[in-house]
Amino acid sequence: MLLDGHSLAYRAFFALPAENFSTVDGQTTNAIYGFTSMLSNTLRDEEPTHLAVAFDVSRKTWRSAEFAEYKANRTSTPDDFRGQVELIGELLDAMNVPRFGVEGFEADDVIATLATQAEAAGFEVLIVTGDRDSFQLVSDHVTVLYPTKGVSELTRFTPEKVEERYGLTPAQYPDFAALRGDPSDNLPGIPGVGEKTAAKWIRQFGSFAELVERAGEVKGKAGQNLRDHLEAVRLNRRLTELDRTVELPTGPEGLERRPYDRTALQVVMDALEFRNPNFRERLFNADPGTGEQEAEPEPGVQVDGRVLQTGELAPWLAEHGSGPLGMATVDTWQLGVGSVTEVALATAAGPAAWFDPARLDAGDEQAFAGWLADPGSPKTVHDAKSAMRVLAEHGWTVEGVTMDTALAAYLATPGRRTFALDALSIAYLGRELEPPAADGQLELGLDGAEGDQEAAERDALMRTARTVLDLGEALSEKLAQVGAAELLRDMELPVSAVLAGMERAGVAVDRAHLEAMEEQFAGAVQQAVREAHDTVGHEFNLGSPKQLQEVFFGELGLPKTKKTKTGYTTDADALAWLATQTDHELPVIMLRHREQARLRSTVEGLIKTIAADGRIHTTFSQTVAATGRLSSTDPNLQNVPIRTDEGRAIRRGFVVGEGYESLLTADYSQIELRVMAHLSEDEGLVEAFTSGEDLHDTVASQVFSVPRTDVDHEMRRKIKAMSYGLAYGLSAFGLSQQLGIEAAEARKLMENYFERFGGVRDYLRRVVDEARATGYTETMFGRRRYLPDLNSDNRQRREMAERMALNAPIQGTAADIVKLAMLRVDRALHAASLQTRLLLQVHDEVVLEVAPGEREPVEELVRREMAGAVSLRAPLDVAVGVGADWESAAH
């Protein structure tokens, strides 16, 4: 089976909606998904013994050399598509599928060569392609599978099918194609001659050569047109003929299918975020090595496992607890309440143990608590924060975690799509985390005669603990290679312990206040619906894009917005644009409706997560943002607006809890800009910070060459957007969009800025050049972000990587500073025996719950520890506020 990779991928690209197929990083994957789906289906249905995929290399081929206009009418290849072809290549490599691309030839020339050689060697040949020129290859032993509906339906073109479709033999097809011409390849046809006439002539004269020889016999205007265009159709005939003599590194005999590199394929699939189990199962079921692996299964990690009875944990820990142990748990955590139901421990030498924490006697519990709290007993855990949080529910403190495999993998490769244990095990150990067969190794359980399934599950948990330990060792080596071992030890692991405490504490909320706000937003949504219906004159569904398009562009005749596959867009940007282009009220009403609906959804989400203790226990993640910033989920507190009246009202629902005096908030003033000043060493920018004057006024006065007193609001707005934009990798086009100005004005503004602050310009250039050379950027504290796309041929991916290279060191350093500040504040609170505690970290802000009588010492402590987190050329400035709720504590 031979596949035309470009033809099929391009067909998939346009068959599947791009908006439904993309990764979190914005990589479109519709062509890859469609190609892979078609490949897995044909492998399943046809079961080929030999397989290869051919790709075009470029548009410069022997055909374009002979005819400069060949395919010249085609638009440039979409950047999204070009990037996907590279990734399809990676996927095929992991499947051990040979792929060909020969300079100067097209994919169908490679296929023609292999098909001809294979047929001569006695093979039955299947060609999967969307290029009809391949019909000339069809014979009794060569069949073309041609997509007739997207990439999901394939029609088999045998000699009989070609004759049924065109009334011609496969050998006559290139004669017919030469006369018909091919607009897609920019090959001109004969005026007035379509497919029916072309086929009739070939049937009448037998071949193209005979037709040309007897062209004078063709009557009428069509005959004259033929004679007038003989040279063009002769050229068409040469270009339509496929070259069957391309020199290739191997022939058909070298295309025998080989087993997948399943580890590499899992990594590629994870990176592409193809998580649909049915999709993955279809592809893996087509692995030619599956049967062999089933006959001789590779043994997984082996452990000398014991199910510990009551009284047996203490002696087991006495024997094995001093060395490194991997730990895995089965636990629950919901709305601030959790418990551990199973624990497994494993050594590198083989001994492993499973126990039920509920069945520990006093001696076992004391031994386990002592081992957990002993900083000298090294522990390897996957997602240590979750373990610390839930173990604390039993009164157990965790110290001595020397390796968190999730955090280590994140530091080693922050761009990974997933840090799940099963994916990391495959990536670093080549080991799949699958439960054992029902006849597990363990025969006896806590009751002396447990079922096979329970034994298997306990055995699986012990093997998971061993996998965690082995993975930790592999990641230790990786961290040493990338210089991130200290970052894990000194920052991420300690921060995870602080976050575990914050998640357990939660933050108190005023349920009645939030419920009143939810009712208010619900009323505003309904009011907007009524206004929309009134202004149009009838009811319609404000949530239906199709109905909105009919109302906006059909009934009301408003200006057309950006065209999409489903019509004209009515997204927020389009509505905002329409509001400026028309006096009609509907766009403004729709914007208000969506904003109020979003706020209602936010508040609904908050109310649903209020725990029995009246507090919200959000979950913080250290492994989501590649820059090192923390994120929160369940609920996402970063969704709560900061600068709007509604957002401030929502924040008033977060209040001081019982037994505490007030909330205290603290954050760094303009931390990204201070980091940029420090890293760029620009004297002018550093001076702007140290002068004591307003930063944006000072910078604006220099950029616009006016006295500070003459800086107006608009100047300040532009400079503020410019300064922060540079820290986030903003381009001149992005700045123009943000400020609502022409791109030329934005470009001039950037040029003026760089004239005044040349150090910033030089730094931004330097950081991209260094990242392009090394493959990564780095924060002040050694946090790396790998950006292989800096050297990509795909312009879109390359420019995205350049923006990441600009902002990663600045944002990443700022995130690291906030983490260091949290650690310093938490340690200082404990050292001073204060009862005040950290509750939240959102964006660059930390929120503390202040115990009675501790406000002054806590405020002094917070200012001191945060300001001293790191020494910058533009010194850190800490703003602090205190109040009875989150909004009142704003500063």
**Closest Cα partner for 869 from 490, 479, 354?**
490
The two structure tokens encoding residue 676: 């940029």
The two structure tokens encoding residue 135: 């019909």
Model confidence at 415, pLDDT cuts 50, 70, 90, reads confident
Please give the C-alpha separations between residue 517 and each of 523, 601, 634, 653, in angstroms, as whole numbers.
10, 11, 19, 9
Q: Are 175 and 237 in contact (CB under 8 A)?
A: yes
Q: Which CATH number fits domain 304-499: 3.20.20.70, 3.40.50.720, 3.40.630.30, 3.30.420.10?
A: 3.30.420.10
Question: What number does CATH give the domain 2-165+242-255?
Answer: 3.40.50.1010
Q: Other CB atoms closer than 10 Å to residue 300's CB: what's the count?
A: 15
> How far, in Å, CA of 881 to CA of 883, rounded?
7
The share of the chain scoring above pLDDT 70, in percent, equals 93
Q: Are 36 and 82 in contact (CB under 8 A)?
A: no
Amino acid identity for residue 538 in this structure: H
Model confidence at 385, pLDDT cuts 50, 70, 90, reads very high
**What is the DSSP-derived secondary structure letter of residue 172?**
G
The two structure tokens encoding residue 800: 């995205």
Q: Above 70 in pLDDT, residue 186? A: no
Q: What is the pLDDT of residues 548-582, one digit of tens each?
A: 999 999 999 999 988 876 788 888 888 988 998 88
Q: What is the number of alpha carbons within 13 Å of residue 95 lying toward its C-beta? A: 28
> How far, in Å, CA of 835 to CA of 850, rounded?
8
Residues 6 or more apart whose CB falls under 8 angstroms from that of 690 comprise 874, 875
Helix (H, G, I), strand (E, B) or coil at 551: helix
The two structure tokens encoding residue 823: 């650690």
Model confidence at 293, pLDDT cuts 50, 70, 90, reads very low
Residue 298 is predicted with a pLDDT of 40
Q: Above 70 in pLDDT, residue 183? A: no
Instruction: Please compute the mean of the pLDDT values over residues 115-123 and round it to a whole number.
Output: 95
Please state the domain extents for the chain: 2-165+242-255, 304-499
Q: Above 50 in pLDDT, residue 332? A: yes
> How far, in Å, CA of 663 to CA of 495, rounded?
21
Residue 185 is predicted with a pLDDT of 67
Q: Are 873 and 681 in contact (CB under 8 A)?
A: yes
**What is the DSSP-derived secondary structure letter of residue 347?**
-
Q: What is the pLDDT of residues 682-706, one digit of tens each?
A: 999 999 898 888 889 999 998 899 9
Model confidence at 299, pLDDT cuts 50, 70, 90, reads very low
Q: Above 90 in pLDDT, residue 122? A: yes
Instruction: Find the Cα–Cα–Cα–Cα dihedral 479, 484, 489, 495, rounded to 10°.
Output: -120
Helix (H, G, I), strand (E, B) or coil at 736: helix
Query: Would you list the DSSP string of 477-527?
Result: HHHHHHT-HHHIIIIIHHHHHHHHHHHHH-EEB-HHHHHHHHHHHHHHHHH
Q: Above 50 in pLDDT, residue 296? A: no
Amino acid identity for residue 505 in this structure: A
Q: Which of 508-517, 558-567, 626-635 has the lowest mean pLDDT?
A: 558-567
> How far, in Å, CA of 521 to CA of 525, rounded?
6
Q: Above 80 in pLDDT, residue 540? A: yes
> How far, in Å, CA of 884 to CA of 662, rounded?
5
Q: What's the burial of 665, exposed, middle or buried (CB within 10 Å: 0-12/13-18/19+)?
A: buried
Q: Indicate the angle between helix axes 5-15 and 30-46, nearest 10 degrees.
A: 120
> How far, in Å, CA of 320 to CA of 235, rounded?
81
Q: What is the number of alpha carbons within 13 Å of residue 189 lying toward its C-beta? A: 17
Helix (H, G, I), strand (E, B) or coil at 869: coil
Instruction: Please compute the mean of the pLDDT values over residues 109-123 and round it to a whole number.
Output: 95
Q: Other CB atoms closer than 10 Å to residue 311's CB: what's the count?
A: 13
Amino acid identity for residue 823 in this structure: L
The two structure tokens encoding residue 700: 């604006």
Model confidence at 213, pLDDT cuts 50, 70, 90, reads confident
Q: Are 322 and 374 in contact (CB under 8 A)?
A: no
Q: Compute CA 192 distance to the chain's CA centroid, rounded to the nearest angstrom.
A: 52
Q: Above 60 in pLDDT, residue 835? A: yes
Residue 76 is predicted with a pLDDT of 60
pTM, entire model:
0.69
Instruction: Please compute the mean of the pLDDT values over residues 93-103 and round it to a whole number.
Output: 92
Q: Other CB atoms closer than 10 Å to residue 290's CB: what's the count?
A: 14
Q: Above 60 in pLDDT, residue 72? A: no
> How far, in Å, CA of 141 to CA of 120, rounded?
10
Q: Are 579 and 591 in contact (CB under 8 A)?
A: yes
Q: Above 70 in pLDDT, residue 519? A: yes
Q: Above 50 in pLDDT, residue 297? A: no
Please give the C-alpha separations between residue 624 and each of 208, 406, 411, 428, 846, in angstroms, as whole numbers.
63, 11, 11, 20, 19
Q: What is the pLDDT of residues 150-181, one digit of tens each?
A: 556 789 999 999 888 888 889 888 888 777 77
How high is the mean pLDDT of the chain? 88
Q: Which residue has the tokens 């497919």?
A: 195
Q: Above 90 in pLDDT, residue 236? A: no
Q: Are 883 and 890 in contact (CB under 8 A)?
A: yes
Q: What is the pLDDT of residues 442-480, one digit of tens each?
A: 333 334 445 577 888 899 999 999 999 999 999 999 999
**Closest Cα partner for 674 from 783, 811, 842?**
811
Helix (H, G, I), strand (E, B) or coil at 215: helix
Helix (H, G, I), strand (E, B) or coil at 53: strand
Instruction: Name residue 52's beta-bridge partners.
Output: 2
Q: Are strands 325-334 and 304-307 parallel, antiparallel or unpaired?
A: unpaired
Of the two residues 426 and 459, the one the predictor is more confident about is 459
Q: Other CB atoms closer than 10 Å to residue 227's CB: what's the count?
A: 13
> How far, in Å, CA of 163 to CA of 156, rounded?
13
CB crowding 122-137: b at 16 or more within 10 Å, else e: ebebbbbbbbbbbbbb
Q: What is the pLDDT of residues 542-556, one digit of tens each?
A: 988 889 999 999 999
Q: Are 658 and 796 in contact (CB under 8 A)?
A: no
Q: Above 90 in pLDDT, residue 218? A: no
> How far, in Å, CA of 800 to CA of 283, rounded?
31
> How far, in Å, CA of 358 to CA of 611, rounded?
24
Q: Are strands 379-381 and 325-334 parallel, antiparallel or unpaired?
A: parallel
Q: Which residue has the tokens 């089933």?
A: 294
Of the two residues 427 and 689, the one the predictor is more confident about is 689
Q: Which residue has the tokens 């991209």?
A: 768
